[in-house]
Chain A
Amino acid sequence: MREAGGPVIPNYAAHSSSCVVHNHAFCWGWVDENWGSVLWPALRQHVLLVAAAVAIGFAIAFALALAAHRYRRIERPTIFVTTLLYTIPSLALFELLVAPVGANVISAEIALVSYTLLILFRNILTGLRSVPAEVLDSAEGMGMSRRQALWRVELPLALPAIIAGLRIAVVTIIALATIVYTIYDAGLGVPIHTALGEGPFKTELIAAGALAIALALLADGLLVLAQRALTPWARAR
């Protein structure tokens, strides 16, 4: 993170274009020159932060949802705790984790994971519960064990709701990960912060902000495609 009080214009080499010097709305030249050194590393870190958080969050939420599907009384306390975590504003949660865990990637991931849990848990459970009882009866009639019915009937039918949850979680975490820079020097928040400290430097602000939004839209689109590929029966209807 760049210290406050540093140079007024960022990456302000002798050959800066007049566009950058005059801080025009958007300077393609700057983006071109600083893609490899500023924007791409931030984007890559952002993707890694989000991917790790969603993967871990999904594993936890999936286990909890399966448990709540079997034992109903797990649902209420889980909803209560995950709602609590979801409600705490991101900036505050990051700082609250710094005291016990430290200003590092682990704090960042704990916070990001905690924001995925409510969304994923609710959607996975809703999906599992939406499987009609007759379908489960026929699975049983075909001689499937409970475990077989879960993996071969209930989960495939719950897939659309699960992926809908993943879409919301991924998009939310991509937006929230821009705040990670306050405790750990990574992600698209880093160039946004640099740009804010310098004027603000518009090109860098817009480029980093647009990358975060584009990443969210791209991830959302990929998940829609994944859902289509994974649920071929839904298209036939």
Chain B
Amino acid sequence: MHEFVEAFKFILHNGAIAGEPELPSLAHLALETLKVGAIGVAVSALIAVPVGVWLGHIHRGSFAAINLGNVGRALPSLAVLAIGDAFLGLGLSVVELALVILAVPPIITNTYLGVDGVDGEVVDAACGMGMGATEIIARVELPLALPLIFAGIRTASVFVISTATIASLAGFSGTLGDPIANETSYHFYGVLGAAICVAALALAVEGALTLAQHALTPRGLRLERQTQADPASGAVAHAATLSTQ
């Protein structure tokens, strides 16, 4: 347990190592990790949400939308980053490209499941009230699907933070993965300290997004949901039931 004491000292010193004056601070690396991740998630959401909403709205492409999520899981982050490195060189834009490739599938899958799962009678009622397709999407389907869409964004965010740290293994520097990939400069206590920070960062992001998701859930849906378990990864269970049909 001595290593953990040293690791916490390393964190308290904000990542300073005696004899290595040039190293960036842990706070800086954490912010950079968040920035790299946020860009990746934002771009992914901009691509994936409209596609998922459209597929869910027309109730088509369930096979593609659901299996895309599974294919996404099969891609090893390190291999995607490494192949991007081999062909394009590993700059920020290639890392973001890898993050988007990995984050788009869970968001599409969840958005599709959310919109596709909106009660048909509710849509009929909206239609009867004179709403057009755009209005139905914007005022009925999207709000009702929001919790699941957000669950997808949450899954993607945690995934993106994990991959942003793995990018250090592929040679991209500027995230909290740097100390983990560079034991020569940081020693084991630095590696361990950075690992603690990465874990804490991921848990904090997950926690913050869980709260945000709760706040975004329409009140009518909240009651219904309390009878089930909180959908920590609702899409997993949901996808399971769906793929059995």
Please give me the 3 A-B residue pairs with the lowest Cβ-Cβ distance, nearest first: A209-B79, A89-B162, A160-B244
Cross-chain pair count, CB within 8 angstroms: 165
Q: Using Cβ atoms and an 8 Å threshold, which residues of chain B touch A84?
A: 203
Task: Please determine whether A123 and B233 come into contact, CB atoms closer than 8 angstroms.
Answer: no
Q: A95-B191, A95-B195, A196-B170 are in contact. Are A205 and B237 (CB under 8 A)?
A: no
Q: Using Cβ atoms and an 8 Å threshold, which residues of chain B touch A79?
A: 229-230, 232
Task: Please determine whether A83 and B233 come into contact, CB atoms closer than 8 angstroms.
Answer: yes
0/1 interface trace, chain B 173-189, chain A, CB 8 Å (1 if under): 00001001000100010
Task: Please determine whether A90 and B83 come into contact, CB atoms closer than 8 angstroms.
Answer: no
30 A-B residue pairings within 8 Å (CB atoms): A79-B229, A79-B230, A83-B233, A84-B203, A88-B198, A88-B203, A89-B166, A89-B202, A91-B177, A92-B165, A92-B198, A93-B195, A98-B192, A99-B3, A99-B188, A122-B232, A122-B233, A122-B237, A126-B237, A127-B240, A165-B240, A167-B70, A175-B74, A178-B79, A196-B82, A196-B85, A209-B76, A212-B76, A212-B79, A213-B76
Q: Using Cβ atoms and an 8 Å threshold, which residues of chain A touch B78?
A: 178-179, 189, 192
B185 smallest CB distance to A (angstroms): 12
Q: A87-B206, A196-B170, A202-B87 are in contact. Are A171 and B198 (CB under 8 A)?
A: no
Is B23 on the interface with A (CB-CB < 8 A)? no
Q: A209-B83, A212-B76 are in contact. Are A95 and B192 (CB under 8 A)?
A: yes
Residue on A nearest B171 in the bound complex, by CB: A196
Q: In the complex, what distance in Å separates the CA atom of A118 from the CA atom of B232?
A: 9
Is A76 on the interface with B (CB-CB < 8 A)? yes
Known: A123-B237, A213-B79. 5 other contacts (CB 8 A): A119-B236, A122-B240, A175-B76, A178-B79, A200-B86
Q: Using Cβ atoms and an 8 Å threshold, which residues of chain B touch A230?
A: none
Task: Please determine whether A164 and B192 come into contact, CB atoms closer than 8 angstroms.
Answer: no
Is A172 on the interface with B (CB-CB < 8 A)? yes
Residue on B nearest A94 in the bound complex, by CB: B195
A8 smallest CB distance to B (angstroms): 15
Task: Please determine whether B82 and A192 come into contact, CB atoms closer than 8 angstroms.
Answer: yes
Is B97 on the interface with A (CB-CB < 8 A)? no
Give the bracket for the number of chain B residues in contact with chain A.
Answer: 35 or more
Q: In the complex, what distance in Å separates the CA atom of A161 from the CA atom of B7?
A: 42
Q: Using Cβ atoms and an 8 Å threshold, which residues of chain A touch B177?
A: 91
Q: Using Cβ atoms and an 8 Å threshold, which residues of chain B touch A179?
A: 78, 166, 169
Which of A25, A96, A160, A176 has its CB near the most chain B CB atoms (within 10 A)? Answer: A96
Q: Using Cβ atoms and an 8 Å threshold, which residues of chain A touch B70?
A: 167-168, 171, 220
Q: A87-B158, A130-B241 are in contact. Are A123 and B83 (CB under 8 A)?
A: no
Q: Using Cβ atoms and an 8 Å threshold, which residues of chain A touch B184?
A: 4
Interface of chain A residues 78 through 117 with chain B (CB within 8 A): 79, 83-84, 86-96, 98-100
B39 smallest CB distance to A (angstroms): 18
Quick one: which of A83, A164, A209 contacts B240, CB cutoff 8 A?
Answer: A164
